[in-house]
Chain A
């Protein structure tokens, strides 16, 4: 049976060994990340490709040429 003092010494020794082997973690950030986050949010602009513009224009043109299609479109969609 181990003596309680021996147990205490073992725990202390184990703690020291762990401290030596595991590198110290830096809990604090080295710099503020929020400005970069804001910059990233600002840079998120939606780019509409030419194909989508052409599609929207074609749909609008068809509705102008055939206005009688509008009620059917509103009902079905």
Chain B
């Protein structure tokens, strides 16, 4: 079972439907966590949402508790939540991407995805990861083809994955394939 933690976003149920393609999904609000279901789940997903990771200490605690024990996936705010827990700095960016379709590129040999592949994705973020960012076992594997901003992280050792863009958006090409690959990794 996949447990999705909703940060009161207006895109979360797109994420739910996307993951339901592959497994049973339970989705609860971050301030209404069902411990029993959370413990039983195989995968934890941190949803997109407004604000910044420091607004959601409950999600940070869950991340730290289950890191290395379950597969963890973060989308947009969820991606930043993972980075925040790994001592990454999340900062405002000058150009803001809300409802924006842009090209991103796979930049690492070690990614589950083929290096140099480019594709269109939907983006909804005003914040970004401040670089350089270094954390054990983590690698930035995708970047914005124009601005070079970090778009994905992969930690294949501990099975932690994050996307700054929205795989569930109608603006993203092959979003389902992306999730399928991460879930079967």
A joins B in a complex: no
* Chain B positions near chain A (C-beta within 8 angstroms): none
